[in-house]
Amino acid sequence: DIDYLEQLTRQAAATINRANTYSTILQYATLDALTNLNNRRQFETRLGQEIAIAKRQDNPLCAMMIDIDFFKGVNDKHGHAAGDEVLRTVASIIKDALRESDIPARYGGEEFAVLLPFTKLDEAKVVGERLRYAVESTPITINQDNPQKQDINITISMGLAEYNKTETGEALFERADKALYDAKTGGRNRVCVNI
């Protein structure tokens, strides 16, 4: 009986180790290492799933594209470590401002994307403005381990679009990206909508 229990214990330990390894690999495959948000690949997978749900259940779905204003200037003036801190802080603000069911991601560079399931465009605009204000009003401490640490303020521009039940996920995000472009060319630190 003792031999059997020892074998069972070894097998259980090996199974737990494999499960932990798989979980770690899955995390690396789906999360952005710097911000801990979904990475672009995972976001595109979730986009396909949410489009299918919105179509099947006739639910509203909104897409949000976010860009940190003048991010290159942060890197140029304060260095890449400061840029990384800005990205982490903005990601944290985005995550805290959203519901559990919303799907935020680091889309690339200083761009973020968010899916807002069960959300109409007017509701998404309220969320967007709240998020824009939260970023604008949150000082970000850079060079924290340095005697020259300082707080900087940044802003974001945002584009929103609502899924129209006939388009693809890519078309939805093209419209949100067009609205983001309008926000940036319109003066930045604003939310624009593509209807």
**156-162 and 191-194: which strand pairing?**
parallel
Q: Is 194 left (phi over 0), alpha (psi -120 to 50) or beta?
A: beta
Closest CA to 63 of 186, 178, 153, 182: 178
Confidence (pLDDT) at 164: 94
SS3 per residue for the chain:
CHHHHHHHHHHHHHHHHHHHHHHHHHHHHHECCCCCCECHHHHHHHHHHHHHHHHHHCCCEEEEEEEECCHHHHHHHHCHHHHHHHHHHHHHHHHHHCCCCCEEEEEECCEEEEEEECCCHHHHHHHHHHHHHHHHCCCEEECCCCCCCEEECCCEEEEEEECCCCCCHHHHHHHHHHHHHHHHHCCCCCEEEEC
Hey, which residues are catalytic here? 110
Confidence (pLDDT) at 186: 96
Tens of pLDDT along the chain (195 residues) come to 788 788 888 888 878 877 766 555 555 568 999 999 999 999 999 999 999 999 999 999 999 999 999 999 999 998 899 999 999 999 999 999 999 999 999 999 999 999 999 999 999 999 999 999 999 999 999 877 777 789 999 999 999 999 998 999 999 999 999 999 999 999 999 999 998
* Structure token pair of residue 47: 């986009």
Residue type, 52: A
